Amino acid sequence: MASILNGRNLNILLVVFGVVIIALASASGYLFMQNQSLSSGLENAVGRVGLKKGVTVIGDVDALVGEINSTRSKVSALQSQYDNLVNSTSTYRKQIRDLQFNNTSLKNTVSSLDSQIRSLEANRTALQGQLESLKSDNASMQATIDSLNQQIFTLHIDMDSLKSAADEFSKQVETLKSNEVTMNSTIDSLNQQIFTDHIDMAALNSQINTLNQQINSLQSQIDTLSTAKLIGVNLNTIPNARTQYLEVTGEVCNVGTITATNCYLHVMGFQNNILIIDSYISLGDIAGEGWVSVNQQFSYSGFTLTAYNSFLSWS
């Protein structure tokens, strides 16, 4: 746009310069014509003076002088205009040279700008392609945004539902807390009762242990009674130093409820830790709650017995 304006200014100056040249030419022509007219007027005046000798020519001379003065004034004015036009022409010429120089610079600038415009147009084409791609991406992103907005809307609905559920859950929690207080009170009461029951249970366990001991004792007695068991009743083992016999007398009883088989009495006598009597008295089988009598002598010689005894055995 600046180059177009500068071009228009240059054309205007050229037109003005042409007008000034024409004006200068016209002014020169006019001055020439005025000089010719003055010369012709003088000649005519002289002729009239010659022809009219008897006529007074003072009035003609005054008229000519006035016309000459007027013409001189016009010539001075035209000369002043001519000088002004010459000065203006010099100024316009300088401006034309400056404008021509500026025009050359502007042409270079226009050429550079044209190159830049072509580059910008190429960039515009590339950007247009990118814009189309961005429009496609924008459409895809808009579809994604619409989908996300729909998801957000759904999430808001779900959130409202969850809030409602949370409120209901809070009510249930408050109810549960109230129930918990009641249950804690009940638990405390039950724990107290359990503590009392534990004390009672400990006492009962002690009684149970005592009863179990009694039962075990009775069971042991029952087991003893339900098996064969031999005991000596007035069973004596006595040495007779005068006759030198070891006498065994008394009864052997089976206090059990079953028959004791292969019953015998093992008799032993010692003289100074020396075993001199080692004999058996066979008692046979003794029925449950049965008994047999024993009366038997074992002889020895020498010193008095220092130790003696008898032992029952059965199967």
Query: For the chain, what percent of residues have pLDDT higher than 70?
Result: 79
Is pLDDT larger for residue 218 or for residue 42? 218
CATH of 223-313, one of 2.60.40.3230, 2.40.50.140, 3.40.50.720, 3.30.1330.60: 2.60.40.3230
Check whether 16 has a pLDDT greater than 90.
no
- pLDDT for the residue numbered 17: 61
> Which of the two residues, 268 and 63, has the higher pLDDT score?
268
Residue-by-residue DSSP string for 67-118: HHHHHHHHHHHHHHHHHHHHHHHHHHHHHHHHHHHHHHHHHHHHHHHHHHHH
Does residue 109 carry a pLDDT above 60?
Answer: yes
> In the predicted model, what is the mean pLDDT of residues 76-99?
84
Residue 63 CA to residue 54 CA, distance in Å, equals: 19
User: Which comes out higher in pLDDT, residue 296 or 127?
Assistant: 296
Residue ranges with strand state E in the chain: 230-240, 245-254, 260-271, 274-286, 291-299, 307-313
Crossing angle of helices 58-225/2-51, nearest 10°? 170
Query: Mean pLDDT in the chain?
Result: 82
Residue 273 has φ and ψ, to the nearest 5°, of 65, 15
What pLDDT sits at residue 4?
Answer: 46
Percentage of residues in the chain having pLDDT higher than 90: 26
Checking if the pLDDT of 37 tops 70, the result is no
Q: Where are the domains of the chain?
A: 2-131, 223-313
- Select the more confidently predicted residue: 276 or 47: 276
Amino acid 53: pLDDT: 46
Letter string b/e over residues 255-268, b meaning 16 or more CB atoms within 10 A of that residue's CB? bbeeebeebbbebb
Give the model's pLDDT for residue 51.
43
